[in-house]
Homo-oligomer: A and B are copies of this chain.
Amino acid sequence: MKYSKKTISESLPRYQEIQNHLKSQILSGAWAPGTKVPSEHELAAQFDCARMTVSKAIGSLVEKGLVVRRRRAGTVVAAPRSQETVLEIHDIQAEVQASGRRYRFDIQARKVGKATREEADRLGAEIGTPVLTISCVHWADTVPYALEERIINLEAVPEAADEMFLEVPPGSWLLAKIPWNEAEHRIFAVSADIATARILKIRRNAACLCIERRTRRDAYNVTYVRLIYPGDQHVLVARFQTHGNAGR
């Protein structure tokens, strides 16, 4: 049979139909974890299509962690495992503007120097590495939105030494400047110390959400940043669909 798309009322691609069929069996619980999925040949016959179309459908399910493929053993339904969620950490400017408020930022301090022990530790570099340290407040209308403390590795981004960040905040500047390929976030709660409380205009010891991010490029640490959001007003949202992940 030559390829001819079903033009009659059908719009979903063939491989998605197959995928949906398998998905519904799995998510409904009809196929418990460990159940063997029909072989690709069987499915191809069943859906009257080429095996490659089936393969594409299953390949996508593998990425979603719904099934596991093994040669000879066939494809089996995966066991739901750790609860993995996708967390989007947005650009602060976009975040503020998305909430309908005016964005402004404010460089409090900016210093080129050699990394102290603590700075080197945070950045993940040698003591004495040339660094640019920046302290910056992000505003939403007239309310402090977040306090940013950043360390930039000047060995990785030498041009940062001459950048004054008058127009573009350091985060956005860096993002546009150097493509990074790995980031690690640490999220926790802290009580505001006196200095932080003053800058963010909050009570001393008020609970703050703190996000630390270390950004790497090919195992080369580019920048460390610590964002402190005042009070309980900042909420990170993470969503997760389908179900747990088995392959990793």
Footprint of B on A, CB under 8 Å?
26-29, 63, 80-91, 94, 175, 178-191, 205-210, 229, 231-244
Contacts and interface: CB of A to CB of B under 8 A. Distances in A.
Contacts of A90: 82-83
Contact of A241 (B181, B208, B209, B238): B181
A92 to B, nearest CB: 11
9 contacts: A26-B179, A80-B179, A86-B87, A87-B87, A175-B244, A187-B238, A188-B232, A188-B235, A191-B205
A82 B89 contact: yes
Nearest to A245: B88
A80 B90 CA distance: 11
Given A82-B91, A87-B84, A183 B232 contact: no
Nearest to A59: B56
Given A85-B183, A183-B239, A234 B188 contact: yes
Contacts of A229: 189
Contact of A240 (B85, B183, B191, B232): B183
A83 B232 CA distance: 22
Contacts of A237: 184-187
Contacts of A183: 83, 85, 239-240
A67 to B, nearest CB: 14
A237 B89 CA distance: 13
A187 B187 contact: yes
A88 to B, nearest CB: 5
Given A85-B89, A190-B232, 16 more contacts: A27-B181, A29-B178, A29-B179, A82-B89, A83-B90, A84-B88, A84-B89, A85-B86, A85-B183, A87-B87, A179-B243, A185-B240, A188-B236, A189-B208, A191-B207, A191-B232
A190 B175 contact: no
A122 B155 CA distance: 49
Given A183-B240, A207-B191, A88 B80 contact: no
